[in-house]
Amino acid sequence: MSTVGIIGAGLIGRSWAVVFSRGGWDVRLTDTDPKALAEAPRLLRQSLGDCARHDLVDDPRACLRRISTVPTLEEAVAEVDFVQECGPETVSEKARIFKALDVAAPAAAILASSSSAIVSSRYAEKLAGRARCLVAHPVNPPHLVPLVELCPAPWTSKETVAAARCIYEQLGQVPITVLQEAEGFILNRLQGAMLAEAFRLVGEGYCSAEDLDKTVREGLGLRWSFMGPLETIELNAPGGIADYCARYGPFYKRVASEPPSPNVFSKRATDKIAHAWGPVLEPEVQAAKMRWRDDRLAALAAHKKRAKAFRK
């Protein structure tokens, strides 16, 4: 039986707890906020129950029994095979947590950070066990969205990356490897490029915030739920990607010659977008909407499990 220590019982830590327990692992979950830790079992029961309704987990009670909450990082990682760090997204916190992990976790345990954008070379270089550190960036929530981006630092061992890949695959996740460290890895760089253009289009009055979202929700996003942008353009011209680029490349080239300015993310510009979108949701409404999203994602995950990939 393998054991994972999960550091941070927030959105991502709890979701990883579902992934690992569903895969048969014992889970030790910790958080510096006793309230977050106390709330975790109820929220985990809810997520596992929701998964079971969509046939995404066989025995939610057995999964729950495999998860224990513990008060300190040291107890969480004392005898584990793997650590999934899910603490705050700042370099100083990642540095503090990884320093403690490198001392407290068994020498053979892999130390993976869930960071959304921070490469591990910014905090792991001086650690004795730096060869076992890497980023394993999930998509929220990882128990319903399988992609995980593995991003090694230059000194991360090949064995660490290979073992991490194997573990995530066995858990039913879909790992990709980031071949050179890049802030934001692959997914958030793509998301950032799209958000910059979206903020420009709404901010400069080309369309409403609502219509911008419809464009993805009822357009681009439908294909993207089962094929990537390269496979998409392959099928949008009879001669494949080269033909597509010959037809539409000049237009994309003109657009690319005037990229959105960094000012689209200024406070003034983002306040304008937030205002156009509407009032901040009440906490209960926000929580209900997150559950609705997870329910839709679970239905999509169940559908994708049944659907066959195209094979030539």
Task: Give the residues lining the site for ligand NAD (CB under 6 A).
Answer: 7-13, 30-33, 36, 73, 86-89, 93, 97, 114-116, 137-138, 140
The smaller minimum CB distance to ligand NAD, of residues 21 and 203, is found at: 21
Q: What is the smallest separation between the CB atom of 27 and ligand NAD, expressed in angstroms? A: 15
* Residue closest to ligand NAD, measured at CB: 10
Q: Would you say 30 or 156 has its CB closer to ligand NAD?
A: 30
Closer CB to ligand NAD, 61 or 289, in the complex: 289
**Do the beta carbons of residue 29 and residue 67 sit within 8 Å?**
yes
| Minimal distance, residue 270 CB to ligand NAD, in Å | 17
DSSP state, 259?
A: P
- Least distance between ligand NAD and beta carbon 35 (Å): 8
Helix axes 34-53, 11-22, angle to 10 degrees: 50
Task: Give every strand in the sheet of 3-7, ordered side by side.
Answer: 67-69, 26-30, 3-7, 82-85, 110-113, 133-138, 147-152, 174-177
Give the nearest distance from C-beta 22 to ligand NAD in angstroms: 18
Residue among 131 and 147 whose Cβ is closer to ligand NAD:
147
Buried (b) or exposed (e) across 151-178, using 16+ Cβ within 10 A? bbbeebeeebbebbbebbeebebebeeb
**Residue 77 CB burial class (10 angstroms; 0-12, 13-18, ≥19):** buried
Which lies closer to ligand NAD via its Cβ, residue 26 or residue 31?
Answer: 31
Q: How many residues are listed for the chain in this entry?
A: 312
Q: Are 192 and 184 in contact (CB under 8 A)?
A: yes
Residue 113 Cβ vs ligand NAD, minimum distance, rounded to whole Å: 7
Least distance between ligand NAD and beta carbon 140 (Å):
3
Q: Whose Cβ is closer to ligand NAD: residue 33's or residue 55's?
A: 33
Going by the DSSP 8-state scheme, the letter that residue 8 receives in this structure is -
Nearer to ligand NAD, 85 or 203 (CB): 85
**Integer CA distances (angstroms), 1 to 4, 26, 62, in order:** 10, 7, 14
Residues 199, 286, 299: CA angle, nearest 5 degrees: 90
Tell me whether residue 26 or residue 85 sits nearer to ligand NAD (CB atom).
Answer: 85
Q: How near is the Cβ of 142 to ligand NAD at its closest, in Å?
A: 8
Q: What is the number of helices (H) and of strands (E) in the chain? A: 13, 8
- Residue 40 Cβ vs ligand NAD, minimum distance, rounded to whole Å: 9
Q: What does the alpha-carbon distance between residue 194 and residue 190 come to, in Å, rounded to a whole number?
A: 6
